[in-house]
Amino acid sequence: MTDVPALIEVQNLSKCYGEHQVNALRGVSLSIEAGAFVALMGPSGCGKSTLLNLLGAIDRPTGGQVLIAGESLFEKSEKALTLFRREQLGFIFQFFNLLSTLTAAENVALPLDLHPNLTEAQRKQAVQSILERVGMAHRADFYPAQLSGGEMQRVAIARALVHQPKIILADEPTGNLDSENGESILKLLQNLSQEDGQTILMATHSEEAAHAAHRVIRMRDGQIQDA
Ligand SMILES: Nc1ncnc2c1ncn2[C@@H]1O[C@H](COP(=O)(O)OP(=O)(O)OP(=O)(O)O)[C@@H](O)[C@H]1O
Ligand SMILES: [Mg+2]
């Protein structure tokens, strides 16, 4: 009998930002099971965003490796990495990063542009159903400037989810929200991991946000304190 590998396996990962020789990650190892909702905590500058960016293959490590479902992420070709990001990954940012000239629905549809095989009807259906899921269907035709912060974040989450990724990486998704909006985002993330089996890794400074997760990983100075 072989063990089922964890969905995300980080092995001795290090990252040194060249220009200023900052050792942002210094030998990080951890494993995350499929369907887990994990909070990543630690002081500013400890390496949370660096770790998320490496897991999202937005950046490359200086050493160590990441296995996704047993496959080495950084040994993939650029083309395979693009496919990985496109099909398996949803990224949620602290500052939402919505395009101001597109409506909520158009923003949400963006990742689907990378899936040219979908018909127009399938695209519409996917956008509509995820906007409903995040409670934003009634704002589909609003522009970001016409939305509240919490609403913008829900649209950004819908955009991260519209292609049904297995893995959701969230970098302080409630960092710019009041407590009520933050709570509703956390409920949504809980829901996604419990009902849809999506795997979520969320960097946060908020103990409340961490409470919503199944597990908390604490970092300090580029290392894991406990896993
Ligand atoms: N592109 C870069 N070039 C050089 N140094 C960087 C770069 N990005 C991050 N760093 C440095 O790496 C360290 C870790 O940064 P990182 O953004 O991962 O921290 P963080 O834990 O996400 O912090 P915060 O909670 O403030 O978001 C910091 O000291 C930061 O200054
Ligand atoms: Mg950060």
Q: For residue 50, give the ligand 1 atom closest to its CA.
A: 18
Q: For residue 20, give the ligand 1 atom closest to its CA.
A: 4
**d(C-alpha 161, C-alpha 108), whole Å:** 9
* Cβ < 5 A residues, ion ligand 2: 48-49
- How confident is the model at residue 1, as a pLDDT? 47
CA distances (Å), origin 167, targets 84, 92, 128, 148, 188: 10, 11, 21, 26, 15
With the most atoms of ligand 1 within 8 angstroms of its CB, the residue from 25, 46, 52 to mutate is 46
pTM over 0.75, yes/no: yes
CA distances (Å), origin 133, targets 46, 109, 155, 161, 162: 34, 15, 10, 10, 10
Type of residue numbered 24: A
With the most atoms of ligand 1 within 8 angstroms of its CB, the residue from 16, 17, 95, 172 to mutate is 17
**d(C-alpha 5, C-alpha 132), whole Å:** 34
Pairing state between β 215-220 and 37-41: parallel
Q: Which residues line ligand 1 (CB under 6 A)?
A: 17, 20, 22, 24, 42, 44-50
**d(C-alpha 124, C-alpha 189), whole Å:** 23
With the most atoms of ligand 1 within 8 angstroms of its CB, the residue from 14, 22, 169 to mutate is 22
**d(C-alpha 112, C-alpha 193), whole Å:** 22
- Name the nearest CA neighbour of 102 among 135, 122, 127: 127
- How confident is the model at residue 38, as a pLDDT? 97
CA distances (Å), origin 149, targets 100, 143, 154, 186: 13, 12, 9, 15
- Looking at domain 35-57+85-226, its CATH class is alpha beta
Q: Write down the H helix ranges in the chain.
A: 48-55, 78-88, 104-109, 120-133, 149-161, 179-196, 207-212
**d(C-alpha 49, C-alpha 2), whole Å:** 33
The domain spans of the chain are 35-57+85-226
- Taking only the tens of pLDDT, the chain with its 227 residues reads 456 669 999 999 999 998 789 999 999 999 999 999 999 999 999 999 999 999 999 899 999 999 999 999 999 999 999 889 988 999 998 888 899 999 999 999 999 988 888 999 999 999 999 999 889 999 999 999 999 999 999 999 999 999 999 999 999 999 888 888 889 889 999 998 998 899 999 999 999 999 999 999 999 999 999 75
